[in-house]
Amino acid sequence: MIQKIKNINKTTSLFSNISLGIITALLFSAFIYFEHYGFSFKIINTIFAITSLALFLYIPKKAVLFAGFFIGILWFYWIGYSFNYTGVGWMSPIVTFGFGIIYTLFFGILALTNKVYIRAILLFSLSYFQPFDWNWLQIELIFIDSYIGVFKYQLILVLMALTLPNYIKNQYRYYPLMLIFLAFNFYQPIQKDAPLKIKLVDTNVKQEEKWLRSSKYPLINQNLNEIQKAIDEGYDLVVLPESCFPIFMNRYSTVIDKLKNLSHKISIVAGTLYMENNKNYNVTYFFENGEFKIAKKMVLVPFGEYVPLPKFAQKFISDFFFDGQADFIQAKKPTDFIIKGVKFRNAICYEATCQELYDGDVDFMIATSNNGWFKPSIEPTIQKLLLEYYGRKNGVTIYHSANWSGTGIVK
């Protein structure tokens, strides 16, 4: 009988920890799904974000591990979808489970202690850590559509407000919660509008069709038609998505010549590929007044365009799991385009969500993406929230052209 009672207590404890973990993960992730389905409210996002951080500080150690696991799933279940296009679709559920494990370990550092102030310090430290160079989980992102700001000092204030009541035992115990009001978003850098009429092209090309030989020329013609349409509508600049031209552009002189001719009537930014010395680059071409400039991608996607592991493992993993597609070469620095006298920082997909691309004198950014790899999923929504996060922090207005959801001006 005693043993049965012990077993019941253990089961109850496990259920309690799993439940607390799931609740924490849901509160921490809710803002993404609210935004995705179009019913986001600042007050709800604020309450959920603060409560999720409080739970991380106070829940049992095992519950922290479950919270990390479910956050990994809720945020990144879609990453495995891209494996369907590299011949190893069976890896998709394994990759999804793997992200659950990665973020179990990521947040698991909090489970090393029950001391609230140490957990607060560790949680803040995690806001600087990027497992395998993957930076799409930013702790402050939970405040992006709330009344709290997204700067580090505001995260510190919230964590202090939630931590100090545990160490004050008198009638003033809950006064530190007032610090949360100091973390409100009273100020953010000014984001200006570029003084140009810009056409952002939104395409819906399926990833399984994009690289077919039979699709190549129809897609090229479709892009040329979009450019001509922008000319007819009186735009100064037209921006087409990442890899919208599914070719190594420098091997297609006839396409380049057509774009050069069109660029006398409109400035053109378009994504494609580039091969140099048998090395592959993900690039953006900029055409204006019959001339062109090439911008090579500086920050590559980990386990998508390169493998962030020791060299002895890189080739095997790239060939076996990514069909040799994770072998791109990166540029050494970001590229700026001067378009009709206005400077734009160029960013290709993932790198538009990396702080390196915002360093220096940047007011405007042209970002191009191909989100067809992850359709259908919340990926474009997370990307949009991250673009808002970096744009707001750096005072940059982002002009984003994407294939399969995400096109628009981000401020």
Which residues are identified as catalytic?
A: 242, 297, 349
Q: Cα separation of 270 and 286, whole Å?
A: 7
| Phi, psi for 374 (deg, rounded to 5) | -125, 25
335, two tokens: 């590229």
How crowded is the C-beta side of 1, counted as CA atoms within 13 Å? 0
Torsion, Cα 299 302 308 311, to 10 degrees, reads: -90
Provide the total of helices (H) and of strands (E) in the chain, helices listed first.
12, 10
Please count the other Cβ atoms lying within 10 Å of the Cβ belonging to residue 356: 12
Q: Cα separation of 211 and 243, whole Å?
A: 10
Distances 41 to 92, 142, 253 between C-alpha atoms, Å: 33, 13, 50
- The answer to whether the beta carbons of residues 174 and 52 sit under 8 Å apart is no
Q: 3-state SS of 128-179?
A: CCCHHHCCCCCHHHHHCCCCECCCHHHHHHHHHHHHHHHHCCCCCCCHHHHH
205, two tokens: 């090309």
Please count the other Cβ atoms lying within 10 Å of the Cβ belonging to residue 48: 19
- The answer to whether the beta carbons of residues 195 and 72 sit under 8 Å apart is no
Distances 336 to 92, 134, 297, 348 between C-alpha atoms, Å: 36, 24, 12, 12
